Amino acid sequence: MPSVPPRRLIAHLDMDAFYASVELLRYPDLRGLPVVIGGGRRHQPETLPDGSRRYARLADYAGRGVITTSTYEARALGVHSAMGVMKAAVLAPQAILLPVDFEQYRAYSRRFKAAVAELAPVIEDRGVDEIYIDLTHLPGAQDAVGHDPLGGARAIAREIKNNVQRSTGLTCSIGVTPNKLLSKIASELDKPDGLTVLTLDDLPTRVWPLAARKVNGIGPKAAAKLTGLGIHTVGDIARCERAWLVEQFGRSYGAWLHDAAWGRDERPVVTESEPVSMSRETTFERDLHAVRDKARLSALFTELCTELAQDLSRKGYLSQTIGIKLRFDDFRIVTRDLTLPAPTSDAQAIRRAAGECLKRVDLSRRLRLLGVRGGKLMRQAAVDARPPSPARRALPPRAAEPEPTYNLPLFEPLADADS
């Protein structure tokens, strides 16, 4: 008799309020208080002579900053990630404001992923605070425990949670289901410190009552269109005919909506994936002017290029396409790219290429955001292993419509910036 293939058991692990939780390890006296992460260096806590600390408050904040994350106590007051800090200050003026510390968050990210890998090595990295884990073939994962047919998978997920907490002092939430789409939803259902195990039989009670936006892949525009059609929940989508959804949303997305609502997702857990790009960007606390704030913008621009170069070098990549991203005071976003003759991770080369991109942007309006991006990434080791290319006669460039260039003096020349 042919053997029955094991049922898929995919877990999604999401760290609970990750950045904020890391800060609470450093400042345990803030536990139980509304805390917001998103300040700048000037919002560093001040240690007083008696050993106590003085913290910045949202009520005293002035600027353009955006919240990176917040504790659950702050979320209960309506303060959420991506919200402007000034808006958050209206909702929770006495909330504590802390600066972001990405180096610390990356260190804890590495620690929690190593703790998971000790027990379940088939991991798909989805960012600094979340991963997918394939439990399907782990010893005991398919076992029933008492009357619980998924008791083995539940026990492994609980041990993963315990190992993460032992290694980091932090809690996480895990959803275990037959696929990635449902596990992403499940990990959010019982936060914080949750463990949720679902089968397809649980769709009507646990998933269909949720708002359609809870499905990863239904963004604001699709949700608005669904609402306009009288569709508000995942269950509302599931009750729609597949052909009707295709008619309304197109063949690919309409079919995907139907599959998602019925919990169908065959994507594998991908253990190795190459990044498409790396970037660094910053949002200014106040709008900066191309001429009046030239010195500050120049320093920030060079710092972003240097940080991008360090990111590339640390992760073993080179970039052949350097780009910039600008957001102006009217919220218009402009991007420009430049492809280099050879890939690089050199800070000066990146700074020079990004500067060339800036010459192709009209900078007469004030700026809210500045970013630098490295695309067309290649592994340093792969580039080093290439055989020398035979000399070829260069072909003349194909004629193209020239882009206008602007001579507004936004940034100092490279030599001045690096001196």
| Catalytic site positions | 130
Tell the burial category of 127 from Cβ atoms under 10 Å away from its Cβ (0-12, 13-18, 19+): exposed
- For residue 307, count other CB atoms closer than 10 A to its CB: 18
Phi, psi of 86 (to 5 degrees): -65, -40
User: Do the Cβ atoms of 144 and 157 come closer than 8 Å?
Assistant: no
Contacts for 127-132: CB closer than 8 Å, 24+ residues apart: 128/18, 129/14, 129/15, 129/18, 129/19, 129/105, 130/12, 130/13, 130/14, 130/15, 131/12, 131/13, 132/10, 132/11, 132/12, 132/13, 132/180, 132/183, 132/269
What sign does the dihedral 181-109-39-287 (CA atoms) show? negative
Nearest Cα to Cα of residue 192 among 16, 12, 36, 13:
16
CB neighbourhood size of 92 (10 A): 22
Q: Which of 36, 29, 21 lies closest to 193 in space, CA to CA?
A: 21
Cα separation, 257 vs 390, in Å, equals 50
Tokens at residue 158, please? Answer: 């609980």
Question: Cα(112)–Cα(148) distance, rounded to whole angstroms?
Answer: 28
- Phi, psi angle pair for 182, to nearest 5°: -70, -35
> Tokens in use for 303?
């710092």
Q: Closest by alpha carbon to 86, among 66, 69, 116?
A: 66
- Amino acid, res. 383: V
